[in-house]
Structure 1
């Protein structure tokens, strides 16, 4: 991976290079080619090279700046993506905490409901009122005989 220092050095070399586009011209030497600037204001020394090298050199003037721009673009995208991922991770952690809190509250409600159900079952049990009936006392319990508790349980006193 190219670090920023290397990238800056490439950009500096690109800035100092003869402006493109460049051309490949056939040399007076058989099988050799010269690279030259298409701009008549710049004199490039004739370089003797093979066709593959000449093609590489002539394309490098456009390719290198394009690659540098692409690297910088992708780094920006990566930086933005990392920022978004960090935000989403924080959102997920917040949601996980909310779910844990909700689950704890739900478990507390279930426990509370179980306790209330046990209490209603106790008060809905008609056999508990036999003693009150023998005592011949008129209390709310004696009059109700657990009816409200049985209604709260859906008409059932025991399960």
Structure 2
């Protein structure tokens, strides 16, 4: 389970990364570029290309290039789900307090709370 500290560390690395979108180019034997793939992005503010590294496998290059868009989306989804789970806990706690017998509500609230840890 991801802790808030781990999520914050990811968000810090994300904030420090160069802006996207990133892409990759396959090596070109005609230009004597023997690299299988190069992850890169164009900095529109300064008008220059940045090469992030040679990648041995096209699938790895695709994964890395998409990380600039994928990671922010995943972080946003984690935060959305955590907020939704917090709302569920509030409602479940309120509902459980109004019922005179347990019927498992306490267990549901405990499970939801443990999911946020």
TM-score under structure 1 length normalisation: 0.54
Residues 58 and 90 (structure 1), Cα distance of their counterparts in 2 relative to 1, 3 Å cut: same
Alpha-carbon offset, residue 39 of structure 1? 2.8
Q: Secondary structure at the match of 1:10?
A: helix
Residues 46 and 75 (structure 1), Cα distance of their counterparts in 2 relative to 1, 3 Å cut: closer
TM-score under structure 2 length normalisation: 0.73
1:29 matched to 2:34: yes
Q: What is the CA RMSD across the aligned residues, in angstroms? A: 1.6
CA distance in 1, matches of 2:21, 2:37: 16
- The answer to which structure, 1 or 2, has the higher relative contact order (CA under 8 A, 6+ apart) is 2
**Paired residue for 2:53, among 33, 38, 47?**
47
Paired position in structure 1 for 2:42: 38
Unaligned 5+ segments in structure 1 are 97-159
May I ask how many residue pairs the two structures share in their alignment? 93
Unaligned 5+ segments in structure 2 are 28-32, 102-117
Paired position in structure 2 for 1:63: 70
More strand by share: 2
1:17 matched to 2:17: yes
Residues 4 and 46 (structure 1), Cα distance of their counterparts in 2 relative to 1, 3 Å cut: closer
Q: Secondary structure at the match of 1:34?
A: strand
